[in-house]
Amino acid sequence: VIHNLLENAARHSPAGGRIHISASRTGEDDGVRIDVDDEGPGIAREDRDRVFERFQRGGAADSSGGTGLGLAIARWAVGLHGGTIEVLDDPRSTGAQEGRSSLIRVVIPDHGPEA
């Protein structure tokens, strides 16, 4: 999951751009939260659910060479662990103020998927 998120962030970041990753315990202390954000163009609010579908990419076509599978694979793997993955507004980004963001949040509980 982390590899796919970092690869996706690197692909969509400008040359010399920075990628930030952080991990912490969730507020309920029953899992881990991982945030990955980059300095790329972001994902428009209307595309945020769609980017986790196979062969879909957010926003306009680009020359990143992506297949549209990385975030779908990440969602599948996170789901196997009973977790969630989503695109959020990044409060540190001016792009978020324009309806675009590149902050991906993964939350994985300690207990795994429900039986």
Name the 3-class secondary structure at 113.
coil
Smallest CA-to-CA distance from 40 within 112, 108, 96 is with 96
Name the 3-class secondary structure at 19.
strand
Tens-digit pLDDT profile for residues 28-47: 668 999 999 888 888 888 88
Tens-digit pLDDT profile for residues 65-93: 555 678 888 999 999 999 999 988 766 66
Residue ranges covered by each domain of the chain:
2-109
CATH of 2-109, one of 2.60.120.10, 3.40.50.150, 3.30.565.10, 3.30.70.1880: 3.30.565.10
Instruction: Tell the burial category of 60 from Cβ atoms under 10 Å away from its Cβ (0-12, 13-18, 19+).
Output: exposed
- The alpha carbon of residue 84 and the mean position of all alpha carbons in its chain are separated, in whole angstroms, by 11
- Answering whether pTM is above 0.85, one says no
Greater confidence (51 vs 76) lies with 76
Q: What is the crossing angle of helices 70-80 and 2-12, to 10°?
A: 160
